[in-house]
Structure 1
Amino acid sequence: MLRRPPLRLAMLLAAVLFAVGVLGVGLVRAAFYQPLDASSGPEPVPVLAAPAPTAVGECGTVKVKAPRELRGMWLTTVYNIDWPSKPGLPEKTVKSEYIRWLDLAVAQNHNAIFVHVRPSGDAFWPSSYAPWSNFLTGKLDGSDPGWDPMAFMVDEAHQRNLEFHAWFNPYRGTQPAPAGAGTDLAKLAPNHPLKANPSWRIAYPTGKTGRLYFDPGVPEAREFVEDAMLEAVAEYDVDGVHFDDFFYPYPEKGQDFPDDASFKKYGGGKSRADWRRENVDTLVREMHERIAELKPWVKFGISPFGIWRNGGEGSDTSGLESYDAIYADTREWVREGWLDYIVPQLYWTIGFDKADYAKVLPWWAKTVKGTGVQLYIGMADYRVGEKGDWSDPAELDRQMRLNDEFGVNGQVHFSAKQVRDDPLGAVSRYRAAHYATPALLPRMDRLPATPPPAPEITAAERGDGGELRFTARAEGVSWALYRGGALVSTGRNGTAVADPKPPAGGGTYCLSALDRSGNESAISAPLTVAGP
């Protein structure tokens, strides 16, 4: 049995840190935006108007406006789809590749990234519960790469003011051969938990595509899987815990998931379908409760298959149903408030006969209404260029316009490689229409709220690249810079406040500070600067 770290102790420490504000708003006002050295840099920009008090929400006499939506992409590690580009690369190469993905996110005006850190019973961090991922190391034996990718990933994302959502596949234990061990126990790493616990192990399907699963019907296996994911939450400053649509496996023709033993032992007289749904419900509910106990500021979200059920109380669709096929009662999770956000994968075009985007989207908007659960949409960037409607580069743009109409709180794009490659110019098109300026993350009322006091900006000077840099004092986790009433840039606590593309004629600027839940301070007094 693998050693389990003291999660309860970690919970207590996290609670203490949160209470004293170490991970939220600082208790001591600090000038973390340092003035530039005037003796070695450009001359300060003349201030045209001395700072004066301003009303909350106004920069001078102009009301500030900032878009509020989550914008992200999935960075997929399984089969090295996005990153690392291949297994077994040197640490330096893996790091440089990751930084390029973050730089892409910043260039797209994203504010979050979803990174695959547990693709298949493995880990991208030094885990007491799982072997190292072979998609990182290139080896199935659990070899230690000698560094901590998770610590690096979280830190680099935060330096760029990107939320880091750790993406887990809870029950997958291996990948099919040859990329993974498949169902071959001899190929499992020595510390793989399914080697030591045969009662937790199910092989499915038969044949070359088979893999091992943790049996969702065994309570001890479920608790172990939860502990494995919560270890990452306890040890790292992640902003979110994220699942996709892999719970019970998608059905294979002519084969049923062979969980007879656990159903006989734990079924309790229920139908097998109801029992399986209850098992998944329990995982989701317990993860929600345990994350809230461990770190109440960490968000919990799931990206399920886009159809709950067809017809009736379900959507006007005729496709596979997550409720019956993979025992994922996604509507129940929303209604019960077990999630902070949900990201249904609406990977179909507007007008598609079996699942019309324009019909499925309103169903999801209605489902989340009044629940406090935020709705983001999983966008199918990977399908652009396919035959039919996907050959139109405007399809994603049209879908995102519908998202705006129905009050969607943001989008996550699958996957990073397509965002980078910009097939048919579709990404450039929707970026210009929807992501042309920065955006603040949506406020989440379910999370702790500690809005900091209004910051101060006192001086400005131009950098060598033409940007306008400010001397400022603020508290909180991040900042937002406004020119007049428009948001022009954001950054993390400790990074220089700057307008990267100031207008030639100068402008009036104000600053706000935010806590890690997106709650914004009052706006600073305005500072008006001259043109160059």
Structure 2
Amino acid sequence: MHRFIFILLLLFPLIFIMAQPKFEVRAAWLTAVYGLDWPRTKATNPQTIRQQKEELVDILDKLKTANFNTVLFQTRTRGDVLYPSAIEPFNSILTGKVGGNPGYDPLAFAIEECHKRGMECHAWMVSIPLGNKKHVASLGNQSVTKKIKDICVPYKNEYFLNPGHPGTKEYLMKLVREVVGNYDVDGVHFDYLRYPENAPLFPDRYDFKRYNQGRTLEQWRRDNISEIVRYIYKGVKAMKPWVKVSTCPVGKYRDTSRYSSRGWNAFYTVYQDPQGWLGEGIQDQIYPMMYFQGNSFYPFALDWQEQSNGRQIIPGLGIYFLHPDEGNWTRDEVDRQINFIRSQKMAGEGHYRVKYLMDNTQGIYDELIENFYAYPALQPPMPWLDNVPPSAPSDLKITTIDYGYTELNWKEATDNDQRNKPMYIIYASNEFPVDINNPKNIVSQNVRETNYIYAPILPWNAKKYFAITAIDRYGNESKAVQGST
């Protein structure tokens, strides 16, 4: 009875539509493995290269129109990648051939196109699984199972990197160093950073005997995963401290005092300790895969937030279950979950996967664009990394052009982190001064130049007053410079 009352109290705020926050992560997983979301076309000649690019641009345009601000772009799948790497081969989904060069750099292209639209691009990297035997065989001598056999193990017709081998963290960090060092990514996002589910016979006994130092097998495995997380986090921060480091762990940490995980959770089932990572401060964001309904969602989402240690909790929503072949949820289930996330002041939500947004499954895309994401949102700041905002932009000059267009020019701001130039947020309103706390007034975000052409959808909807702030890559926003036409 008490549990029922608790869940009822949790759900009570959901009868109200929550006000749209100014700061909110709105993310979508863009899945490349098997071409699930992208690409549909193989890049084999100039025409198909262009078509493959256009398919990605169409997705990003639609996400931008719905005011998404974060793209989790699949960059490594299972022992292969979507960028020219000195370590692993190109994924065959790009060209139809393992290691086939698509004639362009998909990761660089994705980052450039996301940044054009003011969106962040995070490199989504599958970590431990290397694929089934058929897939590994298809990679031939380019497979890590051939190049560095010692860190790979077979288990149940698949291959995995061995988290218990010290060389595994070095290998993963080598890949991460390649991505973070060579690309202007906004984040690195790790998937399957865990052991296989319920794997008591995982072949790591030799390493356990060698390295356990008196720990139980279960604790040793959890410590192995945590050490990989720690090593990569510190490695990324030593290179580019503004790059966000995140994982998508199993959606239930373990049993809570409010509700049982029913025997399936991160801590025991796959040897993850993500709440420990949060407490240690070796994650910036956590995207728990909360592809659940009802009591399997709300108590566990609340548990993540309560144990966040001030880091960003971004529940992953299983919108694929809206499809009749997957689960045939009704869309109000997702609506309630977003309202709950906002009511508990979590950092935002991620949508798995892009396809169901593009297909507008059960009207989910329309609901977001018309209601939940009707106005833009900025990235939440990361004060544990940097809490000093840039100086304010200055000397704003506003020039009216024909058809309601307006040109804005200003002097650049400066930031305490001199490795990055500040970006700019453009606000517009018919009231002066422009209220920069109202997300309705955001016109554009993450503008990288000191000029901007304001083009209203309709000339008679043009705004009279403008404000511009500077923002750094940690999410710290400056004071505004204001002006009028």
Of the candidates 402, 419, 423, which is equivalent to residue 477 of structure 1?
423
How far is the alpha carbon of 1:198 from its aligned partner?
2.0
- Cα deviation per residue 1:289-342 (whole Å; 9 max; x = unaligned)? 111111111111111111111245x85432411111111111111111110111
The 5-angstrom pairing of residues 365-384 of structure 1 reads 365-368=305-308, 371-384=309-322
SS at match of 1:424: helix
Letter in 2 for 1:199: D
Letter in 1 for 2:238: E
What is the alpha-carbon distance in structure 2 between the residues aligned to residue 333 and residue 295 of structure 1?
A: 20
What is the alpha-carbon distance in structure 2 between the residues aligned to residue 472 and residue 122 of structure 1?
A: 44
Instruction: Determine if contact 1:397/1:430 at 8 Å carries over to the other structure.
Output: no
Higher Cα radius of gyration: 1
What is the alpha-carbon distance in structure 2 between the residues aligned to residue 194 and residue 168 of structure 1?
A: 18
Superposition RMSD on alpha carbons, in Å? 2.4
Of the candidates 465, 481, 500, which is equivalent to residue 456 of structure 2?
500
TM-score, normalised with respect to structure 2: 0.85
How far is the alpha carbon of 1:225 from its aligned partner?
1.6
Instruction: Determine if contact 2:42/2:52 at 8 Å carries over to the other structure.
Output: no
SS at match of 1:136: coil
Equivalent position of 1:194 in the other structure: 145
Instruction: Determine if contact 2:152/2:161 at 8 Å carries over to the other structure.
Output: yes
How far is the alpha carbon of 1:388 from its aligned partner?
11
RCO comparison, higher one (Cα < 8 Å, 6+):
1
SS at match of 1:478: strand
The 5-angstrom pairing of residues 112-191 of structure 1 reads 112-140=70-98, 142-175=99-132, 177=134, 180-181=135-136, 184=137, 187-191=138-142
Instruction: Determine if contact 1:447/1:517 at 8 Å carries over to the other structure.
Output: yes
How far is the alpha carbon of 1:450 from its aligned partner?
4.8
Equivalent position of 1:350 in the other structure: 294
Equivalent position of 2:442 in the other structure: 488
Q: Are 2:299 and 1:341 aligned?
A: no
What is the alpha-carbon distance in structure 1 between the residues aligned to residue 119 and residue 325 of structure 2?
A: 34
SS at match of 1:189: helix
What is the alpha-carbon distance in structure 2 between the residues aligned to residue 320 and residue 212 of structure 1?
A: 23
Q: Are the structure 2 counterparts of residues 125 and 272 from structure 1 closer, same or farther at C-alpha, using a change threshold of 3 Å?
A: same
Equivalent position of 1:317 in the other structure: 261
Q: Are the structure 2 counterparts of residues 131 and 455 from structure 1 closer, same or farther at C-alpha, using a change threshold of 3 Å?
A: same
The 5-angstrom pairing of residues 20-59 of structure 1 reads none
Letter in 1 for 2:307: T
Letter in 1 for 2:285: Y
- Cα deviation per residue 1:21-55 (whole Å; 9 max; x = unaligned)? xxxxxxxxxxxxxxxxxxxxxxxxxxxxxxxxxxx
Equivalent position of 2:299 in the other structure: 359
Worse overlay, 357-366 or 293-302: 357-366
Q: Are the structure 2 counterparts of residues 247 and 290 from structure 1 closer, same or farther at C-alpha, using a change threshold of 3 Å?
A: same
Letter in 2 for 1:274: Q
- Cα deviation per residue 1:436-485 (whole Å; 9 max; x = unaligned)? 01111111112334513234432243565x55543444442232323232
How far is the alpha carbon of 1:234 from its aligned partner?
0.7
- Cα deviation per residue 1:36-80 (whole Å; 9 max; x = unaligned)? xxxxxxxxxxxxxxxxxxxxxxxxxxxxx9711111101011111
The 5-angstrom pairing of residues 208-287 of structure 1 reads 210-251=157-198, 256-287=201-232
What is the alpha-carbon distance in structure 2 between the residues aligned to residue 358 and residue 221 of structure 1?
A: 35
Of the candidates 308, 311, 317, which is equivalent to residue 253 of structure 2?
308
How far is the alpha carbon of 1:280 from its aligned partner?
0.1
What is the alpha-carbon distance in structure 2 between the residues aligned to residue 167 and residue 518 of structure 1?
A: 21
Instruction: Determine if contact 2:256/2:303 at 8 Å carries over to the other structure.
Output: no
Instruction: Determine if contact 1:451/1:520 at 8 Å carries over to the other structure.
Output: yes
Instruction: Determine if contact 1:489/1:499 at 8 Å carries over to the other structure.
Output: no
What is the alpha-carbon distance in structure 2 between the residues aligned to residue 162 and residue 362 of structure 1?
A: 28
Worse overlay, 113-122 or 256-265: 256-265
Instruction: Determine if contact 1:307/1:319 at 8 Å carries over to the other structure.
Output: no
How far is the alpha carbon of 1:260 from its aligned partner?
2.4
Instruction: Determine if contact 1:452/1:514 at 8 Å carries over to the other structure.
Output: no
Of the candidates 284, 292, 299, which is equivalent to residue 237 of structure 2?
292
How far is the alpha carbon of 1:268 from its aligned partner?
3.0
Letter in 2 for 1:68: F
Alignment size in residue pairs: 443
- Cα deviation per residue 1:170-218 (whole Å; 9 max; x = unaligned)? 22223564xx23xx4xx3332322202222221121xxxx321111111
What is the alpha-carbon distance in structure 2 between the residues aligned to residue 257 and residue 176 of structure 1?
A: 16
